[in-house]
Structure 1
């Protein structure tokens, strides 16, 4: 029987912070208490008052496999994730080929087995012509169905109104949406290209992918969800304007019921704003776009007020060379998983969030929203996905980056907390300096 005892920890779980010990046995949390006695042969880790958190569950990543593995793959990006305290991830379907049927979905699970450092789930994608595959999807096989209601790659922009209505009517899992209005964006892009010519740059990105385009599409998604009673989760909210579409209050209400329509924002919308384009340019070009400082402030407040339910990354790596292209050709997306948790904890140091709120948005809420079984909490019987955090400053350096693309928008920034250790299914996989052991990730299961 393998056993590890973590002593003298400052644990954060379900709105509480408390001191105590935690025992891991056979991959699960066996005991939580105070003054737990050491057993013969047991590994003992003295947390020495450091934070012990449930492993973070990232509900939105693009690990680029299959078909785009020069940018990243399940092995490299999950390694970066566990180094950052993210122990479970849900990967997007806009790969090559796209994940549009049960066979493609199973192929991704097969490819991740034995290679993923964290636990893994894969979304089914929607297109204008795969409605039958959505209708017959086994809801236990995917966290949700991803609908690109804005621009995407390949055949994954759903712009047929009848198909869109049917997807919301028949989806057997939660629907997650990327909400930007493509015709509005296309018109903006044409107008700005005519105005700026070769001078068009990343500074214009938030005007091309405008707040109006976000609001129009989010309004359509929430309207369809209300019409059909669909469980809808709107990804990467980037504007203050969209916040009025969402209910204020906890994800799980006092009577035990759950919000029908939920919202997510991402760490880059809380750490960057329009003023950063002059310094970082295409490195922070993403869809939807990073916008104003006022949006950044409003999104942070919305997390505090429980208008936004989930904090995620939208980790989407591209090579350095791709990002050096002129703005119109440079791809959108940035690598984030390795430094997302410490970036969120910076908001705690700044007094803008409480650490209990970070844990709620990054761990508890994704587990609750997607019905993830036995993860996302410090509870006896749950899988031992754990993160030990210490308040020791460090500066992000390129040589420390584990993502295949080997760069980060956070390079040169100093964070006041660092990840001291990460456990996945009870196995230590990060010791604060390097990966240890072997990939320990398992397929996520969903209680549906």
Structure 2
């Protein structure tokens, strides 16, 4: 059955539905297809380009770079994925989500240019972002790598500076099952002779070796850049630049100084092309926002939203929960994708949760709430004097609604496990993303 190409008046929703059906595999890594179409579109990328890869911390690092560069007066584009509520969150121009018409215009141009070349949903949208950025006359763009690095569509771009935030186990079916294999894949966003930032305190040897092999200018955390801080303020130290007396980033969490120092290392490495005064750093760090990353909503009970979906992120979430006030009960609304290390994630939080509300997630990679509940029961420690309860629900909103009914004013509700869990709950709460 041949698909009908959306017409000139088609909505963004119609275009995205078309893209989802167009390619036979939702994820198909490789740069050959996208390179062919990019050449047909004559993309030139006439701006400073920063790519950000890594297992965790990518979104936060991108958000801080965007906010600092905007505060410094630059025209900035940012491309991230996935989205929480609206697709438009993925493509931002000068601090604003791209409009539907801006995106559909680019999708129509790609459709006309691609000919017989089959592109995945992510390849289409990556090209659309790059085209819109080119059209918008930007000074600098920040591009989040979708999956891995070597074969991800974003790696089409020869970045002026690349950051790997962290390397841990995730997406094993595509990237390998060890940090060394995954680190090698992620290191491929680095470029010969250009700054290559690594914020992982214990970088895989494969990443260091690859950077040396291609002659990248490798900046290692703890060696080429670092941070220090006390309760009031923190400071960054790089190869030739120090920034002291900084307020803590608006983004909460134990790892945010690591992410912030990676962003500042990238800006130091690009100092010949981007002038960023101290005031822009201060302002940017205070204004950076990223929904769904240790997002604490006002009101009672306390609601904490976090898209943590692998053991590394769940361990950071657990640390952040421990740093919060005392709560008599913690209610966890959790939904995950079936290709994640569900047991590993649940194990990191098992001793911190009193009531589990397991939700089904949508899509081909979705995991049924009943299956998730079985895994949670398997991982939980033996019951104590106050037994932990586990229940299942057909979707995250239903699970969250029940958690709110059960939680007392002094309790805490944690919503985590996936963008597919946090997004629907945020939408239900009517919280506007950005």
Q: Same fold (TM over 0.5)?
A: no
More helix by share: 2
With CA pairs under 8 Å and 6+ residues apart, which has the higher RCO, 1 or 2?
A: 1
